[in-house]
Chain A
Amino acid sequence: KAGVTQTPRYLIKTRGQQVTLSCSPISGHRSVSWYQQTPGQGLQFLFEYFSETQRNKGNFPGRFSGRQFSNSRSEMNVSTLELGDSALYLCASSLDEGRPTEAFFGQGTRLTVV
């Protein structure tokens, strides 16, 4: 069974640009969550999508957005990039057919904003 796939693995962008990251969950998983990992703030929850609907949202500005497609694949978008957006962005998928639910993480996309 293929794991969670995130693309691209590495990105370098300039301040002010926008970026789109992609996540393909494990087959059959309907929940996809996104996390930002930085040395200073650690791992922070961005948002969660389930059946194409945003179900939970963390405390991030509106520049961070996401969506989920009918095949459960998800994208997150960051507009007007700032230097502080440099981070490892992790995607996690889960079956979510009841608790407890185990989340499986991808290898992440490392975004560098210059």
Chain B
Amino acid sequence: GDSVTQMEGPVTLSEEAFLTINCTYTATGYPSLFWYVQYPGEGLQLLLKATKADDKGSNKGFEATYRKETTSFHLEKGSVQVSDSAVYFCALTPGYSSASKIIFGSGTRLSIRP
């Protein structure tokens, strides 16, 4: 079945460091890919998305490119801030079903040191 695999956390970085969180997927057809972020005590917020191969999603300095050849959607940011500390989820909606059925990765907890 469809699935998402993302790097285990926690990830701890110093402020202004470069961030990469790896994400790979298995899916039938042409899924849409997402990164969601969850701040402490909150629900999920959509960070960015890409709906077809080679699309690049970007928001708040974060970027991810839909790579069909490597089935990957890695999240990157050039210079992280303390306020980026949160849990990040890579996710997909399968190409064959309702777009509202989201399959999530296990999440990566990110902590940024001042």
Contact = CB atoms under 8 A, between A and B. Distances in A.
B102 interface: yes
Contacts of B32: 99-100
Interface residues of A, number: 26
Q: B102, B104, B106: which has the most chain A beta carbons within 10 Å?
A: B102
Interface residues of B, number: 23
Contacts of B51: 99-100
Interface string B18-60: 0000000000000010001000011111100101000000000
Q: A42, A90, A99, A100: which has the most chain B beta carbons within 10 Å?
A: A100
Contacts of B49: 100, 102
Given A105-B45, A107-B43, A45 B98 contact: no
Contact of B98 (A50, A104, A107): A50
Going nearest first, the 6 A-B pairs with the smallest beta carbon separation are: A101-B99, A105-B43, A43-B104, A105-B44, A100-B51, A100-B32
Interface of A: 4, 6, 31, 33, 35, 42-43, 45, 48, 50, 55-56, 90, 92, 94, 96, 99-108
Interface of B: 32, 36, 41-46, 49, 51, 89, 93, 97-107
